[in-house]
Amino acid sequence: MNNLPINLDIKIKEKEKSYPIIIDKEDISSIKTKILAHLDGPKFLVIISEKVNKLYGEKLGFSKEQIFVLKDGEKEKNLKNYQKITDYALKMQLSRKDTIVAIGGGVVGDLAGFVASTYMRGINFIQIPTTLLACVDSSVGGKTGINTKYGKNLIGAFYQPRAVLINTNFLTTLDEKQFKAGFGEVIKYALIEKSCKCNMGFDLTNFLAENIDKINSCNTKILAELISICVSMKASVVEKDEKEGNLRRILNFGHTYGHAIEKETAYKKFTHGESVVEGIKYAFNLAFKKGLIDKNYKHFADDLIKKFNFKEIPKFPLKNMIKHMQMDKKNTSEKLTFILPTDYSVVEPVEINPDELTE
């Protein structure tokens, strides 16, 4: 097992850009010093989750003028808050050399990253994820965005951070629902592992099976190893395909149907991770019906998902779900594009006619 801190480096070949991903469990009070080490200009604006600010604001040590507190929840990732933050940045007179810092989960990271990508046509951006989901997935790779009434992340940009600073101490205060939400993305990586083409010699599925009790008890060393594995897999994909031209589409496994669930329930009832897991189950059922996988692999995936004890999500009207899925960014025609399993830990994009789908 790796000793903390774990230092990873992601290189974006298209932009000839590289940035560090640092995983550690130092005291949270050290984060401000780490931010200062990655600045170009004198000023920075911290976009911080309301919950994180309540729990750690005093330890983090920022002045009131340096922070914008964002309420929690997917519904906060909207145009109204985008404008509030950009107005605040202008009031602070942030320049192109200054920095936006995101401290929170995926909502904070996506919104703050979109602000950074557009403010002054792009300023520096640092990601500090505080949820398991953000640590293993959304903080790395440069996807930013906001939601609209038409769907999730339909307005956004690919914009890489200056650095990703992951501190596993934040994970110890997650409630069970948010902690488990991260496993939706972890399971996704286990089931697309071979398609990621990272050639690192590990088996994420076996790692999960061997360490499930330690993972569920929030063992910080095991979590750091788990985060390192998932981030390495994502980095391998993003390095080859930054802007989702081909390979990177596999990272949307489970998201086509998952995003539709979130939209159908107005982003209020289920977490992103719970929705992705349901999307993975839907993808396996669809792949099995189309003869892309055998029943043994379907049972294998079902058993893996059951180990995490996700609550059941009810079925929704098919016509509603199709309507939501038709707004999916992967679609390039009247057909729906699903990422489907075709072999053990292998997935591929498959176009499906809407009339082929069943509830």
Question: What are the boundaries of each domain within the chain?
Answer: 6-173, 186-356
CA 357/CA 19 separation, integer angstroms: 42
CATH code, residues 6-173 = 3.40.50.1970
The pLDDT, as a whole number, for residue 31 is 96
Q: What mean pLDDT is predicted for residues 297-321?
A: 93
User: Of 51, 77, 248, 249, which residue is the catalytic one?
Assistant: 248
Phi (first) and psi of residue 186, to 5 degrees: -60, -45
User: Of 244, 262, 274, 278, which residue is the catalytic one?
Assistant: 244
Is 109 in contact with 156 (CB distance < 8 Å)? no
Catalytic status, residue 324? no
Please state whether the predicted TM-score (pTM) of the whole model is above 0.85. yes
Catalytic status, residue 255? yes
Catalytic status, residue 244? yes
Catalytic status, residue 234? yes
Q: What mean pLDDT is predicted for residues 207-233?
A: 88
The pLDDT, as a whole number, for residue 201 is 67
User: Of 234, 249, 324, 329, which residue is the catalytic one?
Assistant: 234
Q: What mean pLDDT is predicted for residues 168-194?
A: 93
User: Of 121, 149, 268, 295, which residue is the catalytic one?
Assistant: 121
The pLDDT, as a whole number, for residue 200 is 66
Catalytic status, residue 74? no
User: Of 143, 152, 180, 263, which residue is the catalytic one?
Assistant: 143
* Mean pLDDT taken over the chain: 91
186-356 CATH choice from 3.30.830.10, 1.20.1090.10, 1.10.10.10, 1.10.287.130:
1.20.1090.10
Catalytic status, residue 299? no
Catalytic status, residue 180? no
User: Of 25, 162, 249, 255, which residue is the catalytic one?
Assistant: 255
The pLDDT, as a whole number, for residue 12 is 64
How buried is 90 (Cβ within 10 angstroms: 0-12 exposed, 13-18 middle, 19+ buried)? exposed
pLDDT at 283 > cutoff 60: yes
User: Of 25, 259, 281, 329, which residue is the catalytic one?
Assistant: 259
Q: Where is 351: in which H helix or E strand?
A: strand 346-352
The pLDDT, as a whole number, for residue 219 is 85
Catalytic status, residue 121? yes
Going from the C-alpha of 143 to that of each of 95, 110, 244, 273, the distances in angstroms are: 23, 7, 10, 17
Catalytic status, residue 249? no
Catalytic status, residue 38? no
β-pairing, 336-343 vs 346-352, is antiparallel
User: Of 53, 81, 124, 252, which residue is the catalytic one?
Assistant: 252
Instruction: Give pLDDT tens digits for 11-31.
Output: 665 556 788 899 999 999 999
User: Of 188, 272, 281, 324, which residue is the catalytic one?
Assistant: 272
The pLDDT, as a whole number, for residue 235 is 87
Lowest mean pLDDT among 94-98, 184-188, 199-203, 326-330: 199-203
Higher pLDDT: 236 or 294? It is: 294
Higher pLDDT: 237 or 82? It is: 82
The pLDDT, as a whole number, for residue 4 is 67
